[in-house]
Amino acid sequence: MAAPTAHPEGTVLEGRYRVDGVLARGGMSVVHRGVDLRLERPVAIKVLDGALAGEPAFIRRFEREARAAARLAHPGIVAVHDQGRDPDGTVFLVLELVEGGTLRDVLREQGRLHPAAALTVAEQVVTALQVAHDRGLVHRDVKPENVLVGRDGAVKVADFGLVAAAWEAGTDDPDDPEGSGEVVLGTVAYLAPEQVTDGRADARTDLYATGVVLFELLTGVPPHGGDGGDDPVAVARRHVTEDVPPPSAVVGGVPRALDRLVLAATSRDPETRIADADAFLAAARGVRIDADLPFHPVPPPRRRAAAGSRPLRGTRLLDLDADRPAPPPVEEADDDADGGWDAWDEDDDLDDRDDEPDDDPPPTRRRGPDDRVDDIDVAIERIERRRARARSRRLLAAWLLLEAIAVVAAGAAGWGLGLPG
């Protein structure tokens, strides 16, 4: 499907909203900077893709979701000012204009964030989600592109209801009673397993995506790929079959308490995942105390890129096994073959790997979707023990080297003192 096309600058929609330059592009819409000519204020105008604008079922759902989103009055949510349909058929939303950029822009510039700043982002995103969830509205597409960061560092969540409208419209198509027509599932790198397998989405789905975003903020990469040229179905399969690893297994400097929060938010089984936004925020407060992470402002982006990520399109439910080879068993993966996630195992320490025999018991199987998250501590303890042993070996080697240098220096000094004057 072709990318949505931008509207010509200077176009006036419904005789009121002037369309200016492009701010961002997504899989379903183009966001323009604009002006409300009646109130003489700057706005953002989200113009929907023409193909979607021509689907009556989608428009009905879209207008309903827009009304629901407009009632979400909260400083952490991008305000919806208006929605309309121009006589030429253009369907659009008028939104609060946030001067700054997206969390994706921040990641492009920073690479990854300090753990305290990453936790600050996650807390603000979940606080906004809590307001929506309390009103029965599920986002379904939490990702860095849908989190705006103002020039003052304020974090705001955007695009409530748009993916829900597309999804539900697809299930209501009278010519497709089984709901198998093409709909938007969300963005593949952040899909919860239940979205992939059976289309379910609730508050816990948004928390899974937030956990994936937190992982990416801490490490600079999403846990299962999907930010580049990865096969979308292969990425979706990983969400279903593989656990999100602790961020500290990828980069150093991540507190163990943050590992626990990420793993609890991204449990593959919704029943063992963090239950709701209240529980997430309570856990985040505990992380701040345990890891001594004070509130840290989010660095605003220096510039805003117009390009956005594309959502995953396909049938309502992905057939993860159709015409594709099964992934190799985890125990057969070559740890040194590449940096991919298939090579990672809970007992592997990517930072301090060594060839000496491991004193730990044989590794247990990967945690399955029906297992509780109580074994998180066990996995993290193993990683920390391996790192402690590696650090001890390095310290011993450094001490021996210093001893050798001291002996040589003492010998040289004695030889010098014995020379005739």
Where residue 163 falls among pLDDT bands split at 50, 70, 90?
Answer: low
What value does the mean pLDDT take over residues 194-205? 91
Residue 52 corresponds to which tokens in the numbers above? 């979607």
pLDDT of residue 289: 94
Cα distance between residue 171 and residue 58, in whole Å: 10
Asked whether residue 83 carries a pLDDT value surpassing 70, the answer given is yes
Question: Pick from 123, 267, 124: which is nearest to 204 by CA?
Answer: 267
Asked whether residue 370 carries a pLDDT value surpassing 90, the answer given is no
Q: Domain map of the chain by residue range?
A: 1-97, 99-345, 346-387
Which has the minimum average pLDDT: 69-83, 205-219, 369-383? 369-383
Per-position DSSP letters for 241-277, written without gaps between them: HSPPPPGGGTSSS--HHHHHHHHHHT-SSGGGS--SH
The set of catalytic residues is 141
pLDDT of residue 98: 94
Span 236-268, pLDDT tens digits: 899 999 999 999 999 999 999 999 999 999 999
Q: Tokens 């009055």 map to which residue? A: 73
Percent of the chain whose pLDDT exceeds 70: 66
Which has the minimum average pLDDT: 87-91, 179-183, 276-280, 299-303? 179-183
Asked whether residue 418 carries a pLDDT value surpassing 80, the answer given is no
CATH label, 1-97, candidates 3.40.250.10, 1.20.120.80, 3.30.200.20, 2.60.40.10: 3.30.200.20
More confident residue, 54 or 168: 54
Kindly give, in sequence order, each residue whose CB lies less than 8 Å from that of residue 257, ignoring residues fewer than 6 positions away.
286, 287, 290, 291
What value does the mean pLDDT take over residues 171-199? 64
- Dihedral sign of CA atoms 210, 211, 216, 221 in order: negative
Helix (H) or strand (E) holding 149: strand 147-150
pLDDT of residue 386: 58
DSSP state of 293: -
Q: Which amino acid is at 350?
A: L
Kindly give, in sequence order, each residue whose CB lies less than 8 Å from that of residue 263, ignoring residues fewer than 6 positions away.
243, 244, 246, 373, 376
Kindly give, in sequence order, each residue whose CB lies less than 8 Å from that of residue 380, ignoring residues fewer than 6 positions away.
246, 248, 256, 259, 260
Separation of CA 128 from chain center: 15
What value does the mean pLDDT take over residues 27-53? 91
- Alpha-carbon separation of residue 96 from 68, 145, 151, 400 (angstroms): 16, 16, 14, 63
Domain 99-345 has CATH 2.40.50.100: no
Asked whether residue 174 carries a pLDDT value surpassing 80, the answer given is no
pLDDT of residue 112: 95
Asked whether residue 329 carries a pLDDT value surpassing 50, the answer given is no
Q: Which amino acid is at 392?
A: S
Separation of CA 349 from chain center: 23
Cα distance between residue 329 and residue 369, in whole Å: 16
